[in-house]
Amino acid sequence: MNLHDPAMETDNDDKTALTRPSRKDAEEAVRTLLRWAGDDPGREGLRDTPARVTRAYEDWFRGYGEDPAAMLERTFEEVEGYDEMVLLRGIRFESYCEHHMAPIIGRAHVAYMPTDRVVGISKLARVVDAFAKRLQVQEKLNAQIANTLCDVLKPRGVAVVLEAEHHCMSTRGVHKPGVSMVTSTMLGEFKTDRELRREFLAAIGNPSTRGD
């Protein structure tokens, strides 16, 4: 799996790499948007907004500077032969739609079938966040989390289900708040073993069938 961001790589044809704008450039871009929206970036209430927005972007999109695979490198072998499902459910995540840059707020349910080692549970949540803190579409986010766990941990199976509300749908366009999008990726035994998949879905409350 290629974990590099293609947008940050050098094009072999023209040898030109994407140059990251300066903080000053970013703040000026925010001022431009404020003017485009119809307000005055020089008024008291907006004077410091460009700086605040760029600092917020550093948090919202910090995933571009993180390596999810590296987060899984430290594992533990002293598990007394445990080889059943490991499940972390209800991991809250915040991401941003790459089409409108609107928030995607949801919960991730992540499970794997270990071979001879397990990883600290906080690392599963960190992997979710590392991919979520980027511009995303939910289907891609789902696959990135599952494929990274599979590539690094080499488990017998991985299952990832995401449930999220997309603010590009709830605060604009069709204006339908409270609607959740559910996606899933099943790899290895979770894909081939129907009973194991059913056990996983039952443990997380089977979001594909329940109603609110």
- Catalytic positions are 97-100, 138, 166, 168
Cβ contact 101:135 at 8 Å: yes
- Dihedral sign from CA coordinates of 137, 143, 149, 152: negative
Among 69, 27, 85, smallest CA distance to 52 is for 27
Among 93, 91, 90, 94, smallest CA distance to 56 is for 94
d(CA 142, CA 140): 5
Strands (E), 38-80: 75-76
Which DSSP letter does residue 61 get?
T
Among 159, 203, 202, 209, smallest CA distance to 182 is for 209
d(CA 128, CA 77): 23
C-alpha dist (Å) from residue 164 to 43, 57, 89, 90, 104: 36, 21, 14, 11, 6
Residue 183 one-letter amino acid: T
- Identify the three-state secondary structure at position 144: helix
